[in-house]
Amino acid sequence: MVHIRNIALPDFPLLLAPMEDVSDPPFRAVCKEGGADLMYTEFISSEGLIRAAAKSRQKLDVFDYERPIGIQLFGSDVATMGECARLSTEAGPDLIDINYGCPVKQVACRGAGAALLRDIPKMVEMTAAVVRATHLPVTVKTRLGWDEDTKNVEEVAERLQDVGIEALTVHGRTRVQMYKGDADWRLIAAIKNNPRIKIPIFGNGDIDSAQKAVEYKNRYGVDGIMIGRAAIGYPWIFREVKHYVATGQLMAPPTVEERVQACRMHFEKSLEWKGPRAGVFEMRRHYAQYFRGLEGARQWRSRLVDTNDPLEIFAIMDEITAAEPMLVG
């Protein structure tokens, strides 16, 4: 088993990546059902949390069926991050995660996320402040470095372990790369093979199939992997990876009925957590992914996004199940 202090995870655990405007409780519910072993909230702005911004506060919502669940924080001020770790601990997660990897301008240009890769002393100071502020395990997600000339994640791993983090996830790209090009896992493997490193090391980037997950497991020796975009509208990727790891055989793709069931569950949770208006509106971004590859998918999606009536949406989902469209792509 893999342990993050008192959190016991299975061998080669599968983590759901924290994704802004995606990894909310409804999405996490279907991914947990699909086999995710450890999940994280959307990243939460420390400044927003201190200001008691409603959106930031709502992101603290965690539920027992999600456990183990981590709250992920980002920010640029050391003291504020420490205070936010204390506030987040009160919300009852199983761990606190710090985001040192987000590459988007709105975050990095404010000195948060991946920007801290250009100021390792401040990153270390901030991490130590978060560790001191909570009794929960603290983990970190980061990238290889800021750019090709400053791939400093090996130093980062050692220094953050020294101040108390208990697991590290590394996305195999630099900040400058954003999400372009192929993820390079060689430095992730170097961290895992470093005799000084005693904490679990998880790899992230480009895992979009069971075959690739097992290939990277064997090639790079990481303790587990984090899956992000590949799980959007396809929460079955977790069970497919687990099945392939255990048997060496591929699972059959989800049936039409399974696709509709997962989409329905996601929608029901959205209505419960967000209310009818936001629940209907924000679910629209997911239909194309759930029904991707199905015969007539464009028609079904068009009907689903053209109505604001939850009962009509459920009725359309029932139609899809009854029609049993073929998988064509």
Q: How far apart are CA 286 and CA 283, in angstroms?
A: 6
Burial degree of 181 (CB within 10 A; 0-12, 13-18, 19+): exposed
Q: Per the residue annotation, which of 84, 102, 109, 263 is the catalytic one?
A: 102
Q: How far is CA 36 from CA 30, 105, 241, 299, in A?
A: 9, 29, 10, 31
Q: How far apart are CA 1 and CA 207, in angstroms?
A: 22
Of the CA atoms within 13 Å of residue 160, those in its CB half-sphere come to 35
Question: Quick check: is 102 catalytic?
Answer: yes
Q: How far apart are CA 90 and CA 76, in angstroms?
A: 22
119 φ/ψ sector (left φ>0, alpha ψ -120 to 50, else beta):
beta
Peptide bond before residue 68 is cis, with ω within 30 degrees of 0: yes
Q: How far apart are CA 240 and CA 126, in angstroms?
A: 38
Strand, helix or coil at 198? coil
Please name the helix (run of DSSP H) or strand (run of DSSP E) that holds residue 218, with its range, or none: helix 210-220
On whether the CB atoms of residues 221 and 189 are closer than 8 A, the answer is yes
Question: Which residues, in sequence order, are bridge partners of residue 70?
Answer: 40, 95
Q: How far apart are CA 314 and CA 305, in angstroms?
A: 12
On whether the CB atoms of residues 153 and 187 are closer than 8 A, the answer is yes
Q: How far is CA 18 from CA 9, 236, 253, in A?
A: 18, 17, 25
Angle at which helix 310-323 crosses helix 297-305, to 10 degrees, equals 170
Residues involved in catalysis: 102
